[in-house]
Chains A and B, each alone.
Chain A
Amino acid sequence: MAGWIITALLLAFSIYRVRNNEIKRKIPLIGIISALMIVCMTIPIIPPIYHINLSVIAGIILGPAVAFISIFIVDLIIAMFGHGGITVVGLNTVVIGTEAFIGFYLFQLFMALISRDSIMWSSGLAAVISLILSTSILIGVIYVSQINPEIVVGIEEEHPTEAENIGDIPNELVKGINIKSFAKTILILLGVGWIIEGIITAFVIKYVSRVRPDLILPERA
């Protein structure tokens, strides 16, 4: 539920950001990038657990606000295909939207820091770092969602300082997930995928920048 609420707020903000950017022109663009993300999701890299999702590419090309709208559409459609849960569309959008958001700003940063000629390195590094961060957020969200709020409230009343930091909450208060083994499983399964997706992102951005450079660095919302 929290995922849906955060997504609704971020969507409202994203729509507010793009309102002046000729919204009717953006719709075909959103449609194409969303469709491309869905099509690429049908191509598994490590079957059946990892497929590319092009979120960082969407962020770099569309900009974070429009990419967030596009990612919400993708998540909603793939949930209808039975590819992701409808109840976790909100959470998925937040996690994948984070990839697009961080990917966009890291790409800009690396382009400024390294060199404008290093578009491959900038995009590849931005993709890998964004994927690592978004997975960390996912693990964090799952950890937090397993904490019994009633117990946390109880602690807060008795020991206000202990509840300030989630990391300080004793393991016995967590409803049952072994976060270490969960994180290990996820990191091992997805680690290889991040590197492959980073390489693919680098080559895709390099190709697009050669053929249509205007798509990589135009004015974005």
Chain B
Amino acid sequence: MDVAIIDYYANHGKSFLHKAKAFWKIIFAALIIASIIITIEFYLLLGIYIALVTITIWTKLPVTKILIIAAYPAIFALIFALAMWNGSWLKAGVIILKALSAALTMVILIVTTPYPDVFNAIRPIVPKIIAEGLFVTYRSVFILLELTDDLIKGLKVRGGITRRKYISNVKNFSSGIGLLIVRGFDYSEKFYGVMNVRGYGGKISSENTKTGINRNDIIALIIGILIFAISLGAIIEKSFLKFSVYIFICSIIALVISSIYVQFNN
């Protein structure tokens, strides 16, 4: 997980998705996830995945890096596909594509939306302790990442992690995690003290969730609705599945055109 890189992408991108509001992007992501859940046809799913890759290209962020970040669940999907193996490549492909597409949808959402905006948008539907916990966790991750980095460097420089000394490596590494816990608790005590001084009453995050709609929000919404409508169409009318190969070909064409367009406009 490249937490810091994802955060950088979310805060420094300039695409239409970066400009769209978190609320509408969550709707966009929910529509695509719903379409991935209801789709069981290989070519249609492949079409959705390629459409998502095309959207990733439109974000003008490093596409390969984002695809790698979103590829992690494929490992477990692969294990699951192997366990379900009945000689059908298409069935295995469906399992893997579902995992890849759902992960890519979430990564697209998060590389184009700063976390605080996402947390603010979901705030009305989650309990207060979860909403506040999300904010504090997000803030603490970066502090702990820095501490971990220093800790690993320190362990290496002082011979705490050396080749072929597995037991002592595990012991030193574990003590390092213990140290992070102790420091983390000290930090949380200080954090709580500072917040108390500032009049903290159990609420950190702002409730400023704008849901007004602009051009970028509409584009995101239309894409989401379009993908969901195609998947729903395939469920309602089975004969629609005959066209899934054409949908797949259309998504390939869109991918090629988008790649060329973005390449020449960068």
**Residue in B80, B130, B171 whose CB lies within 8 Å of A72:** B130
- Give B122 Cβ to nearest chain A Cβ, in Å: 9
**Stretch among A75-83, A100-108, A111-119, A162-170 lining the B interface:** A75-83
Chain B residues within an 8 Å CB radius of A76? 134
A83–B195 Cα distance when bound, in Å, is: 31
Chain B residues within an 8 Å CB radius of A154? none
Any chain B CB within 8 A of the CB of A84?
Answer: yes
For B167-196 the 0/1 string (1 means CB < 8 A from A) is 000110111011111101101110110010
**Stretch among B106-114, B214-222, B229-237, B254-262 lining the A interface:** B106-114
**Stretch among B11-19, B138-146, B245-253 lining the A interface:** B138-146
For B83-99 the 0/1 string (1 means CB < 8 A from A) is 11110000100000001
Residues facing A in B59-103 (CB within 8 A) are 69-73, 75-76, 79-80, 82-86, 91, 99, 102-103
- Give B116 Cβ to nearest chain A Cβ, in Å: 13
Are B73 and A85 touching (Cβ within 8 A)? yes
Are B200 and A189 touching (Cβ within 8 A)? no
A107–B175 Cα distance when bound, in Å, is: 19
For A1-31 the 0/1 string (1 means CB < 8 A from B) is 0000000000100010010000111111111
A202–B177 Cα distance when bound, in Å, is: 11
Chain B residues within an 8 Å CB radius of A81? 1, 3, 6, 69, 106-107, 110
A18–B132 Cα distance when bound, in Å, is: 15
Residues facing B in A44-83 (CB within 8 A) are 48-49, 54, 57, 61, 69-70, 72-74, 76-83
Chain B residues within an 8 Å CB radius of A32? 136, 140, 144, 184-185, 187-188
Instruction: With CB as the reference atom, state the residue of chain A lying closest to B191.
Output: A28
Are A79 and B83 touching (Cβ within 8 A)? no
A residues in contact (CB < 8 Å) with B = 11, 15, 18, 23-36, 38-43, 48-49, 54, 57, 61, 69-70, 72-74, 76-87, 142, 176-179, 181-182, 185-186, 189, 196, 199-200, 202-208, 211-212, 215
Q: List 27 A-B contacts (CB under 8 A).
A: A15-B127, A15-B129, A18-B129, A27-B129, A27-B204, A31-B137, A34-B137, A35-B143, A35-B184, A41-B1, A73-B133, A77-B134, A79-B106, A80-B109, A81-B1, A81-B110, A82-B70, A86-B106, A87-B102, A199-B170, A199-B174, A202-B174, A204-B177, A204-B178, A204-B181, A208-B181, A215-B181
Q: Give me the 10 closest cross-chain CB pairs, A-B, nearest first.
A: A31-B136, A207-B178, A203-B174, A182-B83, A35-B140, A28-B188, A24-B202, A82-B107, A32-B184, A34-B137
